[in-house]
Structure 1
Amino acid sequence: MAGLLSDENRALLRLMQERQPRTVLELAEWSGRAASNRSRTLRHLERHGLVKLHRSPDTRAVRPEALATEFLVVLD
């Protein structure tokens, strides 16, 4: 799970929360990364329950939604 809550991923989650992109491509443009790179990152975040990817049944468009933007880390 290394890198899951990296500075870059937390910034991406914040960006999704604040601007609510309509597509992964739109998010990629806003974040300055390639759509393929963003898709890979978003799938990783979705597997861990931090993002929901809403797939359109009519088009290939995928709308990303941030499910978590605040985190509490407890160390024993």
Structure 2
Amino acid sequence: MLLISRENRELLRIIEEQKPSSLKELEAATGRKRSNLYRTLSTMAQYGIVDLVRSNKRVKPVVKATSFQVEFGLDEPSQHEKRRS
């Protein structure tokens, strides 16, 4: 899964604009299955992009980050190279 794909950026926009109170509402707004939404949003939550607020058997997605800056370098040895040394 590409975390910041076009589809996932659209998902964040919908959450931010419509403020769904549950994954069921988000499912209706996006046409994506709840299981798919939960998996995607759980991954985003691990990176601090969203919060998943649980209340009375409901999970409410809340956007925490609306802009992103990704930094990485190609100078660092890969995990594969580290294991060989």
TM-score (norm 1): 0.85
CA drift of 1:49 comes to 0.5
After superposition, where does 1:56-75 map in structure 2 within 5 Å? 56=55, 59-73=56-70
After superposition, where does 1:16-27 map in structure 2 within 5 Å? 16-27=15-26
* Gapped regions of structure 2 (runs ≥ 5): 74-85
Identity of aligned residues (%): 41
- Matched letter for residue 19 of structure 1: Q
Larger RCO, structures 1/2 (Cα 8 Å, 6+ apart): 1
CA drift of 1:25 comes to 1.1
Runs of 4+ in 1 over 3 A off after TM superposition: 72-76
CA drift of 1:71 comes to 2.2
Contact 1:10–1:69 (CA under 8 A) maintained in structure 2? no
**Equivalent-residue separation in structure 2 for 1:66 and 1:15 (angstroms):** 10
TM-score (norm 2): 0.77
Instruction: Determine if the alignment matches structure 1 residue 30 to structure 2 residue 29.
Output: yes
Report how many aligned residue pairs link the two structures: 73
**Equivalent-residue separation in structure 2 for 1:14 and 1:38 (angstroms):** 14
* Gapped regions of structure 1 (runs ≥ 5): none
